[in-house]
């Protein structure tokens, strides 16, 4: 049944796009700008005279994908602590500072600071910090920080941070954070493992584990596991790993006001006011107001006010299905209003359309042609067929009381009880 629903949705949205993105963890953030302290160890022997570079004792390299920090060795024994620099300002070509406290640092090429406490750090090419506490980290090329606290990471090319607490990351290119608590990630490509804040705004917005904030707004908005906020608004708005297919729903869910786009999909459960798109799909349970798909609207389970589309389809649905064709592959409680036709395995309510088909009906069928096996209600149409109706075939009007050879309500009720016993509830 699930495959039939998938084919229905895919065929109705044949021109809609899909996208695949690479998966990666925080270990590839590349924010290893310098060194981190480690437990005290016996002093290492002085390096050989021909050694060009050495690591000060008491420090280890931090894992990541940034090249290893290089500290030039001298003939004299190396100090056990990195250099300390407390000043108003510091400038250089490729400065490597231990702890800076002051107003600003300037680098013509590549700045590396273990701990920065000040207003801003500026580098013409690349700006690395272990801990950056300040108003801004600015680079024309790349900003990297293990822990950023303060205002902005600002770069035309790229910003990265393992932990970012501040105003946000702003770039024309790429913003990346492990966990970010900020007003915004603003750039061409924004990515966070966990986002807490207001907006991800850009061409492609991605939250690997969870987005908690106001909105994702852009070309492609992608919350891979969980979205909790006001809205996803994009050309493509997706919650879950896959746009189509049989991918695991797991704990994937959308909770918000609206998911809006040319194509909208939740590969899990949807809780909200509306899901709107040329194609709209919930590969789990939709509970909310309306689901609107210009070409197709599909929910595995729909519980809401109305499901509206050229094709409105579900496995189980409660509410209204409205479209050129309305289909409930299993059960529907409410109104099916399909201009061309309606289909349900079982319906409690009404089917209104040119042609209405159901195996079991408790309610009304109104159309040019009406068909059911078990009827407990009324058929109104030019041609009516009910296997256990007052008459199997009639014109204009037919009635059924569920006491014919077709099984009627006793059979229907036994099947519904069996369904409940298997864990279904409607």
Per-residue confidence of the chain (426 residues) as pLDDT tens digits? 545 544 444 444 433 333 333 334 555 565 555 444 444 445 555 444 433 333 344 434 333 333 333 333 334 333 344 555 567 888 889 999 999 999 999 999 999 999 999 999 999 999 999 999 999 999 999 999 999 999 999 999 999 999 999 999 999 999 999 999 999 999 999 999 999 999 999 999 999 999 999 999 999 999 999 999 999 999 999 999 877 755 545 678 999 999 999 999 999 999 999 999 999 999 999 999 999 999 999 999 999 999 999 999 999 999 999 999 999 999 999 999 999 999 999 999 999 999 999 999 999 999 999 999 999 999 999 999 999 999 999 999 999 987 544 444 445 455 555 545 444 433
Within its chain, how far is the Cα of 322 from the centroid? 27
Does residue 392 form part of some domain?
yes
Q: Measured between alpha carbons, how far is residue 234 from residues 179, 217, 244, 267 in Å?
A: 23, 6, 17, 17
Does residue 49 form part of some domain?
no
Does residue 376 form part of some domain?
yes
Within its chain, how far is the Cα of 282 from the centroid? 13
The model's pTM is 0.76
Does residue 262 form part of some domain?
no
CA-CA distance, 270 to 162, in Å (whole number)?
30
| 3-class secondary structure, 2 | helix
Does residue 330 form part of some domain?
yes
247 touches 240 (CB < 8 A): yes
319: containing domain: 308-421
Does residue 142 form part of some domain?
no
Q: Classify residue 271 by its DSSP letter.
A: E
Q: Which residues of 226-252 are buried (b: 16+ CB within 10 A; e: fewer)?
A: bbebebbbbebbbbbbbbbeeeebeeb
Half-sphere exposure of 360 (CA within 13 A, CB side): 21
Does residue 410 form part of some domain?
yes
Q: Which residues contact 116 (CB under 8 A, 6 or more apart)?
A: 97, 100, 105, 129, 131, 132, 133, 134, 137
Measure the CA dihedral 338/341/347/352, to 10°. Answer: 60
Give me the number of domains the chain comprises. 1
């Amino acid at each position: 049944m699930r495959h039939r629903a998938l084919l229905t949705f895919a065929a109705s949205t044949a021109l809609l796009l899909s996208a695949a993105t690479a998966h990666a963890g925080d270990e590839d953030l590349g924010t290893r700008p310098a060194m981190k302290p480690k437990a005290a160890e016996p002093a290492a022997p002085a390096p050989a005279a021909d050694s060009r570079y050495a690591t000060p004792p008491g420090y280890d390299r931090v894992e990541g994908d940034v090249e290893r920090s290089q500290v030039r060795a001298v003939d004299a024994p190396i100090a056990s602590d990195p250099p300390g620099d407390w000043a108003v300002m510091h400038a250089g070509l490729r400065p490597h500072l231990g702890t800076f406290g002051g107003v600003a640092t300037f680098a013509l090429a590549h700045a590396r600071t273990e701990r920065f406490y000040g207003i801003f750090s500026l580098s013409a090419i690349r700006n690395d910090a272990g801990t950056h506490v300040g108003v801004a980290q600015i680079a024309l090329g790349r900003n990297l920080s293990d822990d950023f606290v303060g205002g902005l990471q600002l770069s035309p090319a790229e910003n990265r941070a393992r932990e970012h607490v501040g105003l946000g990351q702003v770039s024309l290119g790429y913003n990346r954070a492990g966990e970010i608590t900020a007003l915004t990630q603003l750039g061409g490509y924004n990515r966070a493992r966990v986002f807490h804040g207001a907006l991800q705004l850009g061409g492609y917005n991605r939250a690997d584990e969870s987005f908690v904030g106001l909105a994702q707004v852009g070309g492609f908005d992608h919350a891979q596991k969980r979205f909790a906020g006001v809205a996803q608004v994009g050309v493509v708005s997706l919650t879950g790993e896959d746009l189509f297919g049989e991918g695991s729903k797991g704990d994937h869910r959308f909770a918000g006001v609206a998911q809006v786009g040319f194509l909208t999909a939740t590969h899990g459960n949807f809780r909200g006011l509306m899901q709107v798109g040329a194609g709209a799909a919930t590969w789990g349970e939709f509970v909310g107001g309306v689901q609107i798909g210009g070409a197709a609207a599909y929910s595995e389970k729909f519980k809401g006010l109305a499901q509206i589309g050229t094709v409105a389809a579900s496995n189980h649905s409660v509410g209204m299905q409205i479209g050129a064709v309305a289909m409930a592959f299993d059960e529907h409680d409410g109104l099916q209003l399909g201009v061309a036709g309606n289909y349900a395995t079982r319906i409690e309510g009404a089917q209104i359309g040119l042609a209405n088909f159901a195996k079991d009906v408790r309610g009304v069928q109104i159309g040019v042609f009406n068909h059911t096996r078990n009827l407990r209600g009324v058929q109104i149409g030019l041609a009516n067929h009910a296997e256990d109706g007052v008459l199997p075939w009639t014109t204009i009007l037919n009635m059924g009381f569920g006491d014919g050879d077709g099984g009627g309500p006793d059979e229907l009720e036994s099947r519904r009880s069996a369904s409940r016993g298997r864990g279904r509830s409607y």
